[in-house]
Structure 1
Amino acid sequence: MNDELRERVEHEAEKHALLNAVKHDSDADVGAVIGPLMGENPDFREHGDEVPGVVAPVVSRVNELDTEGRQKRLEVVAPDFLAELEADDEGDDHPLPDLPNAEDSTVRMRLAPNPNGPWHLGHGRMPAVIGTYKERYDGWMLCRFDDTDPETKRPDLSAYDAIVDAVEYLGFEPDEVVKASDRMETYYEHARELIELGGAYTCSCPAGEFSDLKNAGEACPHREKSTEQTREEFEAMVDGEYGAGEMVLRVRTDITHKNPALRDWVAFRMVDTPHPRPEADEYRCWPLLDFQSGVDDHLFGITHIIRGIDLQDSAKRQRFLYDYFDWEYPEVVHWGHVQVDAYDVKMSTSTIKERIDEGRLDGWDDPRAPTLASLRRRGIEGEAITAAMVALGTSTSNVDLAMSSVYAANRERIDDDADRAFFVRDGVEKPLHGGPETGEPPVHPDHDDRGVREIPVDEGVLVEPEDLPEEGERVWLKGYGCVRHSGDEFEFVGTDIDVVREEDVSVIHWVPADENRPLTLRTMDGDVAGHAEPGIGSYDPDDVVQFERIGFARIDRQGSDDTVAYFAHP
């Protein structure tokens, strides 16, 4: 990053840090700053690994100011931001807008996952935002599995528990969990009621033929069937007397409606493929999502729905249903899609599943997979993902999630607890003469009370190739002292830190040549082999450490003489 770009990053970071601090009357949050910073400045993204290191000290400086100082500084660097705050003082403690017509303790919202596979990163936005709203309004949250499509989006039996686990990983717990496939009799009863109200009819038109009629605004010949005939044919559907494509139940809307997608839409269809759940494999007459979801949202008392902007027609279709039943439709918030460009793998359940089946990914938690399971295994806390998702707000435009904002939010949460350690990749061995028998770098630079790591030197060390100085030059082995590259070895020079401060001697990490521990670091770019300091073998799986000058990693497995860790982020 050149000086000009660094100055721009610092300027933009100060604006957003001041906005964040003044808006919420609290210290600025690095994760909340990086999200909008990267979103408004796309050219910063290619420097995503460096930006957090520039932003963090800026945020620290802002947090040192008192409330009045922050407001005065914001008026200087970003008066438009201050004007917006004064014009629209939300009084909230997070960036989400107020829900329409919402009152405390009355808000009821739902997650409606399709359990056709574990969740990718994009799925995490829904529970992050709805869970945050639940907490804000002291509300109620349902997790309803919309699993009434046993063929096209066939449920994965392992996904039910995996999804609930993912919601809890993100920091929330549903108040109730239900499976739509357990509620088939409820949907049938409402279909029967709708038929009696004159709101539905059975149709055996071939799909293409009906589509032509619908697009022309013309009714199909079955639209004027008697209630009795419709009732009989629907019961035959329920009894499984028709095969796939032979009969559907349609909601009678307006066949000349200006939007063809709303004309006499299908409520139930026949599916020959049995449901994978044994409790539901007897059913062949299945509701489509607009009917099933519409009924359930009413029966569970849902007050607010958040759904994608591409599903606007769903709300319009369901309103016909609600009009027949004389129900009040919930408030709806539409938002755009979230996009993540940090992965080579498309953020799609079917694509990820295909890569796994082909052996191109090791599983849903492969570090290369854009999944919540992958981030979790890498040591990224769910609350960090939630913070980054909430910072995106609920815009109807598509939004980009900068992974650097997730990493910044995670760094804030784990840095204080993560012990430091050395890990050398592609180590170059150099004998070392004349110095102490051990190095003693701190366990954590900010916590003297945690002590030091005693690393034996033996008679040699491993350093990374790019850290090897030229012949006759010096380097500072962190926690050990200054050495000079002389011939084919290092010679100990001394422990006067002034050579680093005044003579630009580089500080590098190292491990002993003999008493080290082989370690494989699994990353988004593949496995990296190397050697860690011997103490790394004492950590338990799930412990997170920071490999100095490399980044944070979660210990995944300890073997008898080696370690596997997953790289989280710089």
Structure 2
Amino acid sequence: MNDELRERVEREAEKHALLNAVKHESDADVGAIMGPLMGDNPEFREHGDEIPGVVGGVVGRVNDLEYDAKRERLEELAPEELAEIEAEDEEDEHDLPDLSNAEAYDEVRMRVAPNPNGPWHVGHARMPAVIGTYKERYDGWFCVRFDDTDPETKRPDLEAYDAILEDLDYLGFEPDATYRASDRLETYYDHARELIDLGGAYTCSCSGEEFSDLKNSGEPCPHRDKDVETVREEFEAMIDGEYSSGEMVLRVKTDIEHKNPALRDWVAFRMIDTPHPRKEASEYRCWPMLDFQSGVDDHLLEVTHIIRGIDLQDSAKRQRFVYDYFGWEYPEVVHWGHVQIDAYDVKMSTSTIAELIEQGDLDGWDDPRAPTIKSLRRRGIRGAAIVEAMSGLGTSTSDVDLAMSSIYANNRDLIDEETDRRFFVRDGNQVPLGGSPPDEANPPLHPNHEERGVREIPVGDSVMLEPEDVPEREERVWLKGLGCFQFTRGALQYTGEDIDVVREGDVDVIHWAPASESVAVRMRTPDGDVRGHAEPGVGDLEPDEMVQFERVGFARIDRHEDEADDDGTADAETVVYYAHP
């Protein structure tokens, strides 16, 4: 990269770093600005390997500024962009649009309707985040309804019911009621019987291929005009389990010439031979399709507003046929696009994650590499940080992108002031000390809260440094909380110089850990485990406590354990889960 290009990269990186910092009123995040930077400057892409290093240095300088200084500098560089940020701040406090016709109802009633085939992945958080936020806005009502009426292709996981409720609680919401559709089969049967009596449904024994050919050609099924009594008898036989899977279905009678073939005489009930995993539902063999079950439940539970993916637009159209037969009023519907989430190599799919766990490629649903809510929780990320990011996406019908860096920024705002600082050296190199340095280092527990006191870190005769921090010959460095050292004759010699050498910009500030009394740490991250050494106080922290490893990032203390070596001896190790920078 030539000097002219470097200057351009630095100039653009400074603007984007300032935009990120001022918008979120926090430190700029390299990951959050790389996308906009490269998008605005596509010519930078051919230098993609070099750009992050340049950007990192710029971000560091921006983060050293106070907020007012950041804003003042941004006003110089990009006054129009600053004006847009400040205009956004003055807009309505809600990122979510108002619900249509909300004022027409005595109470806004909504539902979160998960399929309990596994714990939630990160994308699932959008629905409860938005519905929970609407409930609070309108002082409304919402329930969790487990749509578990497919014991075969989307087979429920018995542990998922409680796991999903735990995830909901972690996100900060408590449902007003909880239902399991598999407990409500008799209700669906009763409504099917009524629909049959209204002439709105018929039993069909065509094979799937046969009916598909008829449907696509707009021709009626030969069973369509059965008399009501015969349909009732055959449906009761379905309920009694007298048919096998694929042998008989109950169809809703719609318009066989409808312009959308997907709406023509759709299946309401089918036979499934595989028993439901819940004991209470294991005897049933006649199961409703989701469109019938969900449509009936939404009416009976008096749901006023439904939020669903835009790919489910046909569901509303199918259900309206049933609603018209019964004379019901259909709820308001919001259709939204899919959310795409970056930062994960693992596909955002419950079945894919379950398969990786079964194969041993992931340790469990809370593995830091897994894109799950359980994983984020174990890493120490607050549920409120996820809710804010998800509700901020709005309800656009277009697909939307969510950068994990936005969740991280939200979480940083929530925990930064309350989280104490510590040193952790990854894959450290041991370097001797000389020149009679102090016996103990006393960096502050938190730079903004002197009242919390300082850490007491014994120094010893050598320290652990990260490989890239080991200085060149005769180079000086400042060991945080300890002092200035010069690398001479294979050791760091204490110079006794004061902090002015740092302020003058001649000396890099680095973190360290004592070689002799450090704590062995295994940090679990989305990119794999990292081992290193931390200052001794880390070994005394309680599980679930958050810590900020200086120059590394935030982490949650998971546990302190002994690990047996091959010779039978045990080494103490503290396991932490990395949250974010």
The answer as to whether partners of 2:21 and 2:27 remain within 8 angstroms in 1 is: no
Q: 1:518 aligns with which of 520, 524, 533?
A: 520
Query: CA separation in 2, counterparts of 1:484 and 1:36?
Result: 36
C-alpha spacing 1:473/1:411, structure 2 compared with 1 (3 Å): same
Q: What is aligned with 1:395? A: 396
C-alpha spacing 1:252/1:370, structure 2 compared with 1 (3 Å): same
Query: CA separation in 2, counterparts of 1:387 and 1:110?
Result: 19
The secondary structure found in structure 1 opposite 2:328 is coil
Q: What is aligned with 1:359? A: 360
The answer as to whether partners of 2:558 and 2:575 remain within 8 angstroms in 1 is: yes
Query: CA separation in 1, counterparts of 2:579 and 2:418?
Result: 15
The secondary structure found in structure 1 opposite 2:425 is strand
Structure 1 segment 117-132 matched on structure 2, within 5 A = 117-132=118-133
Query: CA separation in 2, counterparts of 1:226 and 1:55?
Result: 77
The answer as to whether partners of 1:32 and 1:405 remain within 8 angstroms in 2 is: no
Greater shift after overlay, 268-277 or 556-565? 556-565
Distance apart, 1:334 and its partner CA:
0.5
Q: How many residues of Structure 1 are paired with residues of Structure 2 in the alignment? A: 554
Q: What is aligned with 1:205? A: 206
In structure 1, the gaps of 5 or more residues are 21-27
1:568 aligns with 2:568: no
The secondary structure found in structure 2 opposite 1:531 is strand
Q: What is aligned with 1:215? A: 216
Query: CA separation in 2, counterparts of 1:32 and 1:53?
Result: 8
Query: CA separation in 2, counterparts of 1:93 and 1:32?
Result: 23
AA in 2 matched with 1:569: H
Q: What is aligned with 1:430? A: 431
The sequence identity of aligned pairs, in percent, is: 65
The answer as to whether partners of 2:216 and 2:261 remain within 8 angstroms in 1 is: yes
The secondary structure found in structure 2 opposite 1:353 is helix
Q: What is aligned with 1:25? A: none
1:415 aligns with 2:422: no
Q: What is aligned with 1:43? A: 39
Q: What is aligned with 1:309? A: 310
Query: CA separation in 2, counterparts of 1:62 and 1:491?
Result: 36
AA in 2 matched with 1:254: D
Query: CA separation in 1, counterparts of 2:25 and 2:382?
Result: 16
Query: CA separation in 1, counterparts of 2:379 and 2:201?
Result: 51
C-alpha spacing 1:63/1:168, structure 2 compared with 1 (3 Å): farther
C-alpha spacing 1:232/1:527, structure 2 compared with 1 (3 Å): same
Query: CA separation in 2, counterparts of 1:451 and 1:394?
Result: 46
The answer as to whether partners of 1:234 and 1:249 remain within 8 angstroms in 2 is: yes
Q: What is aligned with 1:533? A: 535
The answer as to whether partners of 1:31 and 1:405 remain within 8 angstroms in 2 is: no
C-alpha spacing 1:17/1:430, structure 2 compared with 1 (3 Å): closer
Task: State the Cα deviation string for residues 181-231 of structure 1 (Å, max 9, x = none).
Answer: 000110000000101111100000111000000000000110000000000
Q: What is aligned with 2:548? A: 546
Greater shift after overlay, 533-542 or 1-10? 1-10
Distance apart, 1:61 and its partner CA:
3.5
C-alpha spacing 1:33/1:301, structure 2 compared with 1 (3 Å): farther
Structure 1 segment 455-494 matched on structure 2, within 5 A = 455-494=457-496
C-alpha spacing 1:38/1:59, structure 2 compared with 1 (3 Å): farther
Query: CA separation in 1, counterparts of 2:454 and 2:460?
Result: 18
Q: 2:500 aligns with which of 495, 498, 501?
A: 498
Query: CA separation in 1, counterparts of 2:124 and 2:401?
Result: 14
The answer as to whether partners of 1:355 and 1:361 remain within 8 angstroms in 2 is: yes
Structure 1 segment 366-381 matched on structure 2, within 5 A = 366-381=367-382
- Normalised by the length of structure 1, the TM-score is 0.90
Greater shift after overlay, 147-156 or 133-142? 133-142
Distance apart, 1:488 and its partner CA:
2.1
The secondary structure found in structure 2 opposite 1:119 is coil
Greater shift after overlay, 152-161 or 40-49? 40-49
Query: CA separation in 2, counterparts of 1:189 and 1:248?
Result: 16
C-alpha spacing 1:31/1:454, structure 2 compared with 1 (3 Å): closer
Distance apart, 1:59 and its partner CA:
10
Query: CA separation in 2, counterparts of 1:17 and 1:510?
Result: 28
Distance apart, 1:15 and its partner CA:
6.9
Query: CA separation in 1, counterparts of 2:396 and 2:159?
Result: 33
The answer as to whether partners of 2:425 and 2:533 remain within 8 angstroms in 1 is: yes
The secondary structure found in structure 2 opposite 1:567 is strand
The structure whose RCO (Cα within 8 Å, separation 6+) is larger is: 1
Distance apart, 1:111 and its partner CA:
0.4
Query: CA separation in 2, counterparts of 1:62 and 1:503?
Result: 19
